[in-house]
Chains A and B, each alone.
Chain A
Amino acid sequence: MSERAKSALTFLASLVVIMGAWEYVSRSGGVNEIVVPAPSSIMEAIWFVITNLFSKLAYWQDTWITLYEIVCGFLLGSGTAIVIGSLVAEFATARRIVIPYTIALNSTPKIAIAPLFVIWFGFGAMPKILIAAVICFFPVFVNTVTGLQSTEEEELELMASIRASRWQTFLRLKLPRSAPFVFASLRTAMAFAAIGAVIGEFAGAQDGLGFQIEFAAARLETARLFAFLFVVSLLAYLLYSLIAYTERKVIFWSATTRMQRLQ
């Protein structure tokens, strides 16, 4: 049996045992159904949500709006971080201006900004996008700066010796060099964007998966809550996979990517 098949089987076996035990405890009446529903009830609820999502499009609007918020927040946050990170890495003046603000931003628990953004921007998608963007910003910013400064002395000497301009050196050397750092942070940022969008919906929304989770919680429909949790996790996982796929395509040349390909 291959190593891969062995891992998969061991995992499946553990899953069956855990789920079986959980189901048994729930059915024997040891735990209230409201606190922890049985796996079978959760599966039923997931099935209900998924079938409604695809057949009757009942939760399509919620899924779509959350997806929209995550993606826009991610693009806005990481895009801004790459631009500002590049300026900071290249220009001392930008560094002096920006660094104090980023330290302040990083020290603020960003989730606490959510209610403020709702006051400023209302109950639409905008405050959720902004919260997601703010949470995304920092890891991408730090890795962009680190990545752009990761060029070796000899590489800079080479670019100087072939009389490359500062812009050329940035574009043809520093930017590609920084890509592995940036992509590592983009994976984190994508997970952060999902957190930001859901938190934003908690703070005040009329639709979205976060709203549905809160709605289910308020009505103590725990199985339903798990179902929406499942959908939002699936969404985040798919987006994460998209980033990981893009990363493998873009930085095919990095030592890490090549190692993974060999395995």
Chain B
Amino acid sequence: MARLFGRRKQTRDAAGDAGPSRPLRGRHPAVQVEGVTKIYNEDTPQQLLALDNISMEVAQGEVVALLGPSGCGKSTLLKMIGGLYPATSGRIFVDGAPVTEPGELTGMMFQKPVLFPWLKVVDNVLLPARTQGAKRSEFLDRANDLIALAGLQGFEESYPWELSGGMQQRVAICRMLMGEPKVLLLDEPFGALDEMTREYMDLELRRIIIRQNRSALLVTHNPLEAAFIGDRVVVMTTRPGKIAGEVEVPLGKDRSEDLLASDELNVYIREARSLLELAKDSLGRPL
């Protein structure tokens, strides 16, 4: 991103979309996870196997939902793909390149919006550019375009604490897109929102991902959210986290609000739910 923010001037397409979609390399999957294991406190009595030999992929331009019960290590896996933490063994590639530290190809969104209350909305969005040493004025237009894309016009100069929870996560979406990541890593971004707002945000997020032509991996414990957002749902078991199975959701790229309550979607939600159930024993305890 240093290179990106350092030299390249941003151009905008005619539709006013924020930023061009960089051509995908195509030869490699967007994300490739090969036999990844994570052990906490290795070689101590408190040793804990969190992730056990996980392999999965996100194809270029694909949106994958990683569905699993709380504590199954799905957030850990996501953060390892983002380069925040190392895997104990196994390999992770983003766009064909091994992940060793946070790179410019990935953008992350967290359970909380994680906005800085001392910065205005526009400056929160500009943060990734600013930390790479770019001038504020240089990327102001792009930040404003992203804010418009997320439906937040008029709130550029507001402070995060003046916004609702849903609006704050919209700001977090803009900030994530600021560095033009090709792969979006989303860690239960709407988990803290109420049901109605969450569904609306799911709709918006899906729209933005498709319109911006990105690949995405979304972590969630909600089967409805997983099936609605994902082109594919990967289901994980809990501790140690393993892949339980996956569900293809061939409902097309553009998904509308009507789909949320449709029987079509329900088929896939049930399928995902039954995979989740398989991962538990008869008392409902995770296996």
Contact across chains for B117 and A254 when beta carbons are under 8 A apart:
yes
> What residues on A are CB-neighbors of B83 within 8 Å?
161
Report Cα–Cα, A168/B108, bound state, in Å.
Answer: 18
Cβ contact of B104, chosen from A163, A176, A253, cutoff 8 A: A163
**Interface on chain A toward B: helix, strand, loop, or mixed SS?**
helix
Cβ contact of A157, chosen from B2, B84, B103, B118, cutoff 8 A: B84
Q: Does B68 contact A (CB under 8 A)?
A: no
Q: Does A159 contact B (CB under 8 A)?
A: yes
Report Cα–Cα, A155/B112, bound state, in Å.
Answer: 10
The stretch of B15-23, B27-35, B41-49, B125-133 in contact with A is B125-133
Cβ contact of A158, chosen from B104, B114, B132, B179, cutoff 8 A: B114
Contact across chains for A258 and B131 when beta carbons are under 8 A apart:
no
Cβ contact of A172, chosen from B1, B106, B117, B127, cutoff 8 A: B127
> What residues on B are CB-neighbors of A255 within 8 Å?
161
Contact across chains for B84 and A164 when beta carbons are under 8 A apart:
no
B67 to chain A, nearest CB (A): 22
Q: Does A160 contact B (CB under 8 A)?
A: yes
> What residues on B are CB-neighbors of A163 within 8 Å?
1-2, 101-104, 131-132
Q: Which of A161, A173, A176 has the most CB of B within 10 A?
A: A161
Report Cα–Cα, A255/B161, bound state, in Å.
Answer: 9
CB-CB nearest in chain B for A173: B116
> What residues on B are CB-neighbors of A155 within 8 Å?
114, 116
Q: Interface digits, A137-161 against B, CB 8 Å rule (1 contact, 0 not)?
A: 0000000000000001011011111
Contact across chains for A157 and B79 when beta carbons are under 8 A apart:
yes
Q: Which residues of B contact A (CB under 8 A)?
A: 1-2, 79, 82-84, 101-104, 106-108, 110-112, 114, 116-118, 127-128, 130-132, 159, 161, 179
The 5 A-B residue pairs with the shortest CB-CB distance in the complex, in nearest-first order: A164-B131, A253-B117, A162-B128, A161-B108, A253-B118
